[in-house]
Amino acid sequence: MEGNRIQLIDIAKMIDHSLLHPTLTDAEIVEGIGLAKECDVATVCVKPYSVKMAAELLDGTDVGVCAVIGFPHGNSTVAIKAAETRQVITDGAGEVDMVVNIGKVLGNDWAYVTDEIKAINDTVTAEGAILKVIFETDYLQDAHIIRLCEICSELRVAFVKTSTGYGFVKQPAGQYAYAGATDHNLLLMRRHADPSVQVKAAGGVRTLDDVLRVRALGVTRIGATATRAILEEAQRRGF
């Protein structure tokens, strides 16, 4: 970056290109990995069974592989999450995005939550990878988010992350929706996480202006499916 001016590559390297929708075929995943490679993003974020393929297709590039575990609801046992973590790292993931046990968070079972995050973080860091802990903020109150930030800071986790993109909440009229990475929650996370812990915004970051807005709040990584549109807009605007 020249001085303080944000360049196109700075925006690209904030992006984990998300390929997590349950209906994606292998052909669509291969296409998405190609897009991530072309755009030179930070990582491509894939489901566990796609990690090996992604690692092979991205070999020799500057685009990493990020795998989700316990996705999207975080309900697997700690042992299964740890085994899944070891598998995705063996298959080529350098980053792991783990969903916390949301019910345990809502039940204030902080001992369980701490032990789970520690077990996964220890597994990840022992292999030279990094962990992002997904809170699923739509389900939580501020107090839960603050406590999770404190735990992740104590355990020296690399990133805290807002959402999976699939944490839909039933609305009064019966439909399901989610807010995702709201400014309120991003500010809360940045304020209560140690400065060494980075913040990833996921869920609803769809435009260049969204990216610039969350970056100004202290976010250093985003999860996005609208990667090409974001970067094309950045080019048009002279980044």
- 14: closest CA among 236, 237, 234? 234
pLDDT beyond 90 at 89: yes
**Tokens 């984990």 sit at which residue?**
16
pLDDT given for residue 1 in this prediction: 45
> Strands 169-170 and 176-177: what pairing?
antiparallel
* Predicted TM-score (pTM) of this structure: 0.96
Task: Quote the CA–CA distance of 163 and 53 in Å, as a whole number.
Answer: 25
Determine how many CB atoms are found less than 10 A away from the CB of residue 186: 22
C-alpha to C-alpha distance for 169 and 146, rounded to whole angstroms: 21
Asked if 161 contacts 132 with a C-beta cutoff of 8 angstroms, the reply is yes
CB 181 within 8 A of CB 201: yes
Tell me: the pLDDT tens digits for 26-63? 999 999 999 999 999 999 999 999 999 999 999 999 99
The alpha carbon dihedral of 202, 207, 212, 213 has a sign of: negative
pLDDT band at 156 (very low <50, low <70, confident <90, very high): very high
Q: Which residues have a catalytic role annotated?
A: 97, 161, 200
Residue percentage of the chain with pLDDT more than 90:
92
Tell me 193's DSSP state: S
Share of the chain above pLDDT 70, in %: 98
C-alpha distance from residue 116 to each of 96, 111, 145, 182 (Å): 14, 9, 16, 26
Domain 8-236, second-level architecture: Alpha-Beta Barrel (3.20)
CB-based contacts of 37, cutoff 8 Å, min separation 6: 57, 58, 61, 63
Helix (H) / strand (E) containing 79: helix 78-91
Residues 114-140 have pLDDT tens digits of: 999 999 999 999 999 999 999 999 999
Report the run of H or E that residue 156 belongs to, with start and end.
none
Structure confidence by residue, pLDDT tens digits, 72-85: 999 999 999 999 99
Please state whether 238 falls in left (phi above 0), alpha (psi between -120 and 50) or beta. left
